[in-house]
Chains A and B, each alone.
Chain A
Amino acid sequence: MRAKLIAVTILLVAFSSVASGFDLGKLLEKQVNQELNKNKKTPATDQAPATAQSAAAPQPAANQKIDVKQLGFALFGDYSPEEENRIGKQIAGNLLGAVPLVRDDKLQAYVNQVGNWVALQSGRKETTWHFGVLDTEDINAFAAPGGYVFVTKGLYRRLNNEAELAGVLGHEIAHVTQKHHLKVLKHSSLIGVLGQAASNKAKSSDQVVQNLIGNGAEIMARGLDKDAEFEADRIGMVYAARAGYTPWGLPDVLQDLAGLPAKDGRTSLLYKTHPLPADRLAALGEAVDGRLDAVQGKDVADRFYRIR
């Protein structure tokens, strides 16, 4: 948190300097070093950030050495669908470097059909959704910005019908529509992006993106905060229900996971990055209560694609 405050303060200084036409790169570098060193002795005050957001909002001049627009959007702006996709593509490609896709075109086509139908209920436009089943017995699912959604073979095997698949995909789709990962990236990379800019290496926007993401698929190992997971559960359940499935698919999957042994190696990453199933069920219970009592939905067990 403190780091963020400082970063925002630095940015404020940086942007004002842009307006007056200094060499941004040099100035940033100086400021970053100054602020970082200063921080070792004195903690930041709480005053700066409230005004910093609004002060930084106006777009600075475009003809600077560093692509300030890139930097600005990386930290404060709303990403366009193209930008989100570029970030997501990088993360997805990195994730696929760790674990490949299952070589089963029918399975992958099926998951893409279910996923797109559920994603249609989100109302998100201008998105090309990509779904994939990852070839690992690990039990998990992942999402990346811009519409990338993955479920592991280990999790897929445990599913009993299309409604459960829809619930799992709905949860991941919700991470995309709520831009959960983008929020994490913005939070955690303020200093990093600034540092990169200061050392004047961020000449290409790809480098800004790469810097934003970190190494490999690190963000997948880091996970989101609990509230984001609970929110994705609520929204995912609703997406599945809107798609005509029974809303209880996702809860059924969570019940299944709740019954697995605690020390199962296949769920260690899942529980490192997600609240425990019991907590997710309880949180959903508070939110749902009787609200979905009238919703009738289908299981669609008959056409559920089984892995050999």
Chain B
Amino acid sequence: MKRFLIPAVALLLGAAAASAQAAPGTVLRDDKLYSQPSATASVTGSAAKGASVNILAKQGGWLRVSAGKSTGWIRLLSVRAGAGGLGGAGLGDVVGAATTKSDPSRVVAVAGLRGLNDEDLKQAKFNADELARLDAWVVTATQARSFASQSGLAAVNVPALPKPAANAKSKPAQPSSWESNE
């Protein structure tokens, strides 16, 4: 049971191309569709909250989707993967999961796999030996910087994001999903 189709599509086809492969998605907030993965591109249509779309490709913070007659790029965070609309658990259903692309190298059987539960955690007894293992892997700031630069990573100035409540002021017409999607 593997990785969802979107990244697989992105990997296989790269940014631009759409293909016969498509994954279902649900629109989380009213948003525009653009001709290119950029808010400065021309608007080709719009998608309403709750609408079903087909996800055709992914590039950075954008998904190429088809919604009814329109096709275009929509912000990644305006859509969630999986069919089934906004109702219910909001998770992929069994059918949706069946459409995920399998990656044989990472197959994990879902059936019968049990996760952690409350009791496991409540009953847990302090394990000093495991805790001590962590110390062996401690990394200094200098080592972390060196590790980063090996892959060409450099610190970037990115301002903090505001709380959505403040942001919602700019769109008084609709309640934000922040509040309504309890």
Name A residues whose Cβ lies closer than 8 Å to a Cβ of B: 89-90, 92-101, 105, 108-109, 111-117, 119-121, 128-132, 136-140, 148, 152, 154, 157-158, 160, 162, 215-218, 220-221, 230-231, 234-235, 237-238, 241-248, 251-252, 255-256, 258-272, 276-279, 281-293, 295, 297-298, 300, 302-303
Q: Bound complex: CA of A263 vs CA of B114, how far in Å? A: 11
Q: Bound complex: CA of A270 vs CA of B117, how far in Å? A: 10
B residues near A285, Cβ cutoff 8 Å: 28-29, 75, 77-78, 177
Sorted nearest first, the 7 A-B pairs with minimum C-beta distance are A285-B77, A138-B115, A286-B164, A98-B124, A96-B130, A216-B124, A244-B153
CB B121 to nearest CB in A, in angstroms, measures 4
Is the Cβ of A258 less than 8 Å from the Cβ of B91?
A: yes
A residues near B152, Cβ cutoff 8 Å: 244, 298
A residues near B155, Cβ cutoff 8 Å: 120-121, 242-244
CB B120 to nearest CB in A, in angstroms, measures 5
Is the Cβ of A136 less than 8 Å from the Cβ of B154?
A: no
Name B residues whose Cβ lies closer than 8 Å to a Cβ of A: 1, 3-7, 23, 26, 28-29, 38-39, 60-61, 75-82, 86, 88-94, 96-97, 100, 106, 108, 110, 113-118, 120-128, 130-131, 133-141, 143-145, 147-148, 150-164, 167-168, 176-178, 181-182
Contact check: which of B78, B108, B139, B151 meets A157 at CB < 8 Å? Answer: B108
Is the Cβ of A95 less than 8 Å from the Cβ of B124?
A: yes
Closest B-chain residue to A303, C-beta based? Answer: B151
Contact check: which of B90, B115, B145, B177 meets A277 at CB < 8 Å? Answer: B90
Is the Cβ of B124 less than 8 Å from the Cβ of A248?
A: no
